[in-house]
Structure 1
Amino acid sequence: MKKFGALVLVSVLFIAAKADTLSICTYNIRLDVSVDGVNQWGKRIDKVSEIMRQNESDFFCVQEALPNQIDDIQGFLPTYNYVGVGRDDGMRKGEFSAIFYKATAYDMLTNGTFWLSPTPSIPGSKGWDAAITRICTYAKFKSKSSGKIFWVFNTHFDHIGDTARQMSALLITKKMKEMAGDEPCLLTGDFNSEPTSSAYKTILSNTNHSLKDSYIAQTRDCTFTGFEVASDICKRIDFIFYDKAFKPKSFAIISKNNGTYYPSDHLPVRAVFSF
């Protein structure tokens, strides 16, 4: 009888320790701007919606989303909530780097946004040699099924300032350590930095919170392509980074298109982890 009781206890402990599976997608959806002509938001929203619904994920981390685009995404992802603010004023003005999360599966415990500048708590502040204001939005989550805690950080680095990108990488990993401590973290975004860049290397080599790239080689290793399928533009600048609490199970760069245009000038990147 004692042996049976011990076996039951071991089985219960094994079930309790079973790894969760978490899916996350990062997607620069391209802001809604009239100069895009045939690629303006209103003409491609259905395709963006289709990609998100067909590649259902626990988390969608978006960049360049203006308030009307945030509202549209909320409309076609009705079971998701989101955290995020406009970068210009910390409210609804300017682009969001929002985190949409499956509200049926996760509780959001705390969230916020800081600016990628020497004064990260000041809304609208611009850092170093950056051309424009940049932000990082973060949130702490709890799995409703397992009770496991983890953090998601989502960002969009500057497209001009190399110093700004490197300093932004240092700032984010420092903030990770300050806020999350040893708790698990994921970092997503459009980093405007290729794997040979100093910013990318800083993220992987930093001593604040150790991170790895979820990347697995693809047939065509591009995440920034421009809208045109026939374009020669090919840069890998969108990433999902993870720490030691996560074990990557799969990785994909989603290249769905209508034969002529992609739904955005960036391709979404999706990864699945156990943790």
Structure 2
Amino acid sequence: MKVAAELPLRILTHNIRYATSSPFEGERPWAERKQLLLNELHYNTRHQDAFICLQEVLHNQLVDIHTGLNSSPHPSSANPTWEYIGVGRDDGREAGEYSPIFYQPSVWQLQHWETVWLSETPDVPSKSWDAASIRIVTVAVFTHRASSRMVLALNTHLDDQGSRSRFEAAHIILAKIEEYRTKILSGSSTISGVFLAGDFNSQEHQEAYAVLTAPESPLADAAKLVTPTEHYGHSFTWTGFGHEGQDPTRIDYILLESAADKVFSHGRQPWFIEGYAVLDNRFEDGVFNSDHRAVVVDVLLGE
């Protein structure tokens, strides 16, 4: 079968707000939010080769989302449409928040994955520096079944309190990308493209964003790779539930490997960006499906 020279792909990232037992003012319980969130995920990935990267997901939410994504009135196969990778950050199993990556196993073959703790002891559940919470990055290598193109995917949620923690975590993530590139390039396969999605808890002028998009980094902000007049939807990605007394901000991102303004890129441009969007998180019913908005990019992956 002849495969197109450029592979179309959608990447969606969303901090879904953990299922708290003590909701904020303006926040509805997970039981009332989950179907709205599933509707968003279904609609925005239907008939798409897609990755879904989520943050703040407790185990019961993970089960609900996995079950909901695979629920269809017209099942075409006994095999699940969606699978996921990820662990709870508190114990490396089911405790605490996950940063899972959902993928379609009929489209993508999972080659390897791991959870890295963003601390001085990255192999075990831990936190370091000024972090208020344990933080992780989920890392995976996927091979596209039809084209054999390989993608390195990362999903993270950085600390909301610790500035140094975010700074150090950004460097750990960049080192992990380089580790995978070096390891795979020394073998028989090559990575076609890298992406990092997540809630950085960092605005553009702050530490994590600055490190991850610096000229020395291989990554660039997908929003900057699309002409601003062609953006769809909102600019801000964190809204709260309307009673926090804080202004909305942009702290959720999808970063793509890019040659734009890079020192060590060697001219490589693996992704062509077709579209960038920040979706709404509340409609006429007045219910926030999360205190964050989803970020979506449509890309073409080169050979």
Q: In the alignment, which residue of structure 2 is the partner of 1:247?
A: 272
Secondary structure (helix, strand or coil) at the match of 1:176 reads: helix
TM-score, length of structure 1 as denominator length: 0.89
Secondary structure (helix, strand or coil) at the match of 2:211 reads: helix
Q: 1:81 to 1:229 in 2, by over 3 A?
A: farther
How far residue 16 of structure 1 moved from its aligned partner, in angstroms, is 5.0
> 201, 207, 212: which is aligned to 1:192?
201
1:223 aligns with 2:249: no
Alignment map for 1:1-275 (pairs within 5 Å): 16=3, 18-36=5-23, 38-56=27-45, 58-78=50-70, 79-123=81-125, 125-181=126-182, 183=191, 184-205=193-214, 207=216, 209-215=217-223, 216=226, 217=228, 218=231, 220-228=234-242, 233-243=247-257, 244-259=269-284, 260-275=286-301
State the Cα deviation string for residues 92-147 of structure 1 (Å, max 9, x = none).
11100000001221111100101000111112x10211111000001100111111
Q: 1:256 to 1:229 in 2, by over 3 A?
A: farther
Q: What is the distance in 2 between the residues matched to 1:228 and 1:55?
A: 25
How far residue 256 of structure 1 moved from its aligned partner, in angstroms, is 4.3
Secondary structure (helix, strand or coil) at the match of 2:203 reads: coil
Provide the aligned length of Structure 1 versus Structure 2.
Answer: 260
Asked if 1 retains the 8 angstrom alpha-carbon contact of 2:8 and 2:299, the reply is yes
Q: What is the distance in 1 between the residues matched to 2:237 and 2:243?
A: 12
How far residue 251 of structure 1 moved from its aligned partner, in angstroms, is 0.7
Answer with 16-25 or 50-59: which moved more.
16-25
How far residue 176 of structure 1 moved from its aligned partner, in angstroms, is 0.7
Where does structure 2 lack aligned partners over 5 or more consecutive residues?
Answer: 71-80, 186-190, 258-268
Work out the percentage of aligned pairs sharing the same amino acid.
34
Structure of greater Rg: 1
Instruction: Write 1 or 2 for the structure with the bigger share of helix.
Output: 1
Matched letter for residue 210 of structure 1: P
Matched letter for residue 240 of structure 1: I
Secondary structure (helix, strand or coil) at the match of 1:46 reads: helix
Q: What is the distance in 2 between the residues matched to 1:101 and 1:206?
A: 30
Secondary structure (helix, strand or coil) at the match of 2:22 reads: helix
TM-score, length of structure 2 as denominator length: 0.81
Asked if 1 retains the 8 angstrom alpha-carbon contact of 2:3 and 2:146, the reply is no
Q: In the alignment, which residue of structure 2 is the partner of 1:7?
A: none
State the Cα deviation string for residues 45-82 of structure 1 (Å, max 9, x = none).
11001110111151110000000000011011111100
Q: What is the distance in 2 between the residues matched to 1:16 and 1:188?
A: 27
Over the aligned positions, Cα root-mean-square deviation in angstroms equals 2.0
How far residue 240 of structure 1 moved from its aligned partner, in angstroms, is 0.2
Asked if 2 retains the 8 angstrom alpha-carbon contact of 1:159 and 1:192, the reply is yes
Secondary structure (helix, strand or coil) at the match of 2:213 reads: helix
How far residue 233 of structure 1 moved from its aligned partner, in angstroms, is 2.9
Answer with 231-240 or 57-66: which moved more.
231-240
Asked if 1 retains the 8 angstrom alpha-carbon contact of 2:234 and 2:279, the reply is no
State the Cα deviation string for residues 136-187 of structure 1 (Å, max 9, x = none).
0011001111110011000000000111111111110001100233622100
Tell me which stretches of 4 or more aligned residues in structure 1 moved more than 4 Å.
229-232
Where does structure 1 lack aligned partners over 5 or more consecutive residues?
Answer: 1-11
Secondary structure (helix, strand or coil) at the match of 1:173 reads: helix
Q: What is the distance in 1 between the residues matched to 2:86 and 2:53?
A: 10
Asked if 1 retains the 8 angstrom alpha-carbon contact of 2:199 and 2:252, the reply is yes
